Amino acid sequence: MKTVLLQDCSDRKRPFGKAVIEEFLAAASSAEPVPGGGGIAALTAASAAALLEMVANLTVHKKGCEKVAPLLTATAAEAASLRRQYIAAIDADGEAFAAVLTALRINKAEISRSERVQAAFRHAAEVPLALGVSVYDLLSLAVQVVRYGNVWVITDGVIGAMNARAAMRSAFYSVRINLKSIDDEDFVRKTCQLMEETERKAALLEAEIERVYRERQ
């Protein structure tokens, strides 16, 4: 359905699949550990945000959508901000992993080694944790997009929401693997509680998005 609304894109220099995405995925497929799962989770979240922006942008100037235009204009701006945040998280995740490797290479005779290793693993958990928690805000935007967006493209909004959900789950997997190496039991407990609560609330939003989508079809 989306094709009826697209402008002519024939002047593009090269297919989207040949853009920097191809380079990123080639790097991810290599024998190097970065970019890895955390970076892919961040990229997935960014692509989800982009889809929500698109639906909002294809709604705000559409005749008959004047009443929801202010809401979706704000939604598009919030999604754009999150998209930029998620793109930055790709490198942040890689840097956190590199810091873990650096800490693990410290001579075991070094008195500060244990402390530095623990700090590195903690940071490596905090980066994807922040990503996963922030995706809840993206899902909240998805509810608005699917409820009020241009009916011709709300499927894209739902796809964005499902990708956001996948990004959250993926990010939390990255958190959990790092928690296994952290000795601070209080930090581990509180982090697990935050993830469980965020997942619970996200599941409710996901169900709401599916319900609204079915009603509008």
Query: How far apart, in whole angstroms, are the C-alpha atoms of residue 146 and residue 27?
Result: 34
Is-contact 129 195, C-beta < 8 A?
yes
Structure tokens that stand for 45 in this block: 């979240």
Per-residue pLDDT of the chain (217 residues; tens, 9 = 90+): 333 333 444 454 555 545 588 888 898 999 888 889 999 999 999 999 999 999 999 999 898 889 999 999 999 999 999 999 999 999 999 999 999 999 999 999 999 999 999 999 999 999 999 999 999 999 999 999 999 999 999 999 999 999 999 999 999 999 999 999 999 999 999 999 999 999 999 999 999 999 999 999 8
What structural domains does the chain harbor? 34-215 (1.20.120.680)
The pTM for the full model equals 0.89
Residue with tokens 């609204």: 212
